[in-house]
Amino acid sequence: MSEQEPKSTLRNRRTTVEDASDDSDTATTTATSTASSSKAKAKAKEAKEAKEAKESSTATSTKNGASSTTTTTTTTTTTKTSSARQSEAQKPSQLRNLLLSLMIASLGVVLMSAFNKFVMPTREITIEQSVGLQGNCFQIADIPGPAAVEIDDRDKLAFVSSDDRSWKQSSRFFHRPSSKTELNGGIYTLPLSQKHGSPKECKLKGYTYDDFHPAGMSLFQYQDDSKAWINRLFVINHSHKGDVVELFDYSPATNSLTFVKRIESSLFVTPKDIVAVDQDRFYLTNQHGMAVKYGRVVEDMAGLALGSVVYYNGKESFKVLESLANPYGIAISPDATQLYISAFSERSVHVYNMTEDVEVGELVHDVDIWVGNHVDNLSVDKHMGDLYVASHPSYSTYLRHSLGYEPQSPSHVVKIEKLSPENYIHQKSSQPDFYFFPTPELPPLKWEVKDLFYSNGEDISATTVAAYWNGDLILGSSTSHHLLRCSLRMDQ
């Protein structure tokens, strides 16, 4: 029993060892499984933390993105606001620069125009002794402001428009009164066959208007159905209500003018002179584009060419020429094929060819005749076709005189003689050949300008018209109170 006990003990010990081994394996397995579980938990925890970190990162990035977007939007809004403020700040600056540029340009134009009118000298005036004007002039017809003269060769009469223009200083216009005046103007007839004939005022028949200030005129003679001669007078009336054209028929027996009709148009802005082409139709010059006094001053000083020529076809009026530099006088050739227009600022006379379409009255430019002085009204010798042009040598003196600040102003009259083809004056250019620019060939001169009369203003100041009749000149001025008659013949 005692021997068996150790075996048993050994066996038990072995068994115990095995059991211990098994227990150890179990413990190891348990430990392993516990470790695995811990690792799994750790991994799960790590995964969870990673997921939370990822979500947190995503949320953070989303938040950051939103914040960035907000910041970008705020920055963009700020930029736009800043740009708008800069743009608004730049607008006054740009406008100021534009106005400054316009002022500088306008000043340059005004200075250039002033130089051309006041500083640039006119051409030298040469009066031939053979003309015979010296000592052959005398005053006639003591009437106020004889601005226009029309010659009636058939009846040997001169029609003279007269107005004292005492309203000029107080008027807001230069060419017409701005309110009703106490005195009206009138139209006179002067017998040309009498050397010192006295003027007679024409009685107006059938004329119901109480505001009459005649200026430019045109006489058109025609025969009616009974073959009787009709003397139709077209008269520009500077009424205080607006400029109009009045038509009268003259009766020599009673020295009266019978009213025919009045023509009004918004295109009659500053009418200066008129020429009739038949018993109803006429052309009219608008001296300026602005009617108000100071607007005209700006127009003159800046040298703006805003004048025009208006055509009335018997039914309606419309402009046929625009952008002219102060068109003053207008006349028609004896054969009614050409129209002559004097441009005051350009010191020239423009020649236009007339077209056959009487409804349109289109004019085609032919040639410009340079006179050299500031040209006023003109008249035509109905037999020879020559032009007689009144002009002003000094613009500044003429302006001061017309405004009443100068007692007298020089007067100048030229004759523009129409040459026959065999007497054309051939011109030679002074420009030499220069590489690819050969000397230009100039057209021959078809007109010749000759000086006929010059005065410092003692006998007549600022002559506005010079009408020719039978070797004599009838000179008138809107600022004088008489006419001047001068003989062009040596035997007088």
Instruction: For the beta carbon of residue 354, count every other beta carbon within 10 angstroms.
Output: 19
* Phi/psi of residue 21, nearest 5 degrees: -60, -45
**Helices marked H in 275-386 — which ranges?**
293-301
> Is the distance from CB of 393 to CB of 125 less than 8 angstroms?
yes
Rounded CA gap, 216 and 219, in Å?
A: 11
Going across the sheet that includes 465-469, the strands are 137-140, 483-487, 472-476, 465-469
Rounded CA gap, 87 and 93, in Å?
A: 10
Backbone torsion region of residue 17, taken as left when φ is above 0, otherwise alpha when ψ lies between -120 and 50, otherwise beta:
alpha
Name, in order, each residue with C-beta under 8 angstroms of 261's C-beta and a sequence gap of 6 or more.
Answer: 246, 247
Q: Is 377 annotated as a binding residue?
A: yes
Q: Is 273 annotated as a binding residue?
A: yes
Q: HSE (CB half, 13 Å, CA atoms) of 307?
A: 25
The amino acid occupying position 477 is: S
Give me 221's structure tokens: 């003679």
- Cα-based distances in Å from 431 to 191, 291, 370, 435: 53, 43, 20, 12
Give me 423's structure tokens: 């007497």
- What's the distance, Cα to Cα, between the start and end of the chain in Å? 200
Nearest Cα to Cα of residue 248 among 218, 272, 225: 218
The amino acid occupying position 321 is: L
The amino acid occupying position 182 is: E
Q: Is 376 annotated as a binding residue?
A: yes
Rg from Cα positions in the chain: 50
Rounded CA gap, 265 and 236, in Å?
A: 12
- Cα-based distances in Å from 331 to 287, 336, 450: 15, 10, 19
Nearest Cα to Cα of residue 204 among 156, 272, 167, 251: 251
Rounded CA gap, 96 and 102, in Å?
A: 10
Rounded CA gap, 214 and 235, in Å?
A: 6
Rounded CA gap, 372 and 392, in Å?
A: 10
At 483 the three-state DSSP class reads strand
**What is the DSSP secondary-structure string of 124-158?**
PP---GGG--TT-EEEE---S-EEEEEEETTTTEE
Q: Which residues are annotated as a binding site?
A: 273, 376-377
Q: Which residues are annotated as a binding site for Ca(2+)?
A: 273, 376-377
